[in-house]
Amino acid sequence: MSVITISKAIERISQADPSSPLAVFQTEHPRRVNVVFANTIWTQKCIARGTWDFLGVFHRENLAEAQQKLDEYVEYMKDAA
């Protein structure tokens, strides 16, 4: 697991190959997310369970979608504070 800033997450997603996407999960810290490889058994189980903190699976070819989802997450965290 890697808890990183939103900007660092976008940087990593922009470099991720579609064959090795990254899964992004919320954390308790505003402006930070947990980024992990999406294809691990643990991550696949979390995704299949539909955990509340799951934001999506992203790679460089869906970077715009990732940016939008992470922007929404930041706005949500602002409203929740």
User: Looking at the predicted structure, is the pLDDT value of residue 24 above 80?
Assistant: yes
Q: Give the integer Cα–Cα distance in Å for 30 and 51.
A: 18
Q: How many CB atoms sit inside 10 A of residue 63's CB?
A: 15
Q: Which two tokens stand for residue 20?
A: 């090795």
**With bands split at pLDDT 50, 70 and 90, how would you rate the model's confidence at 79?**
confident
Number of H helices, E strands in the chain: 3, 4
pLDDT in tens, 33-70: 999 999 999 999 999 999 889 999 999 999 999 999 99
Q: What is the pLDDT of residue 1?
A: 62
Mean pLDDT score of the chain, rounded to an integer? 93
**With bands split at pLDDT 50, 70 and 90, how would you rate the model's confidence at 9?**
very high
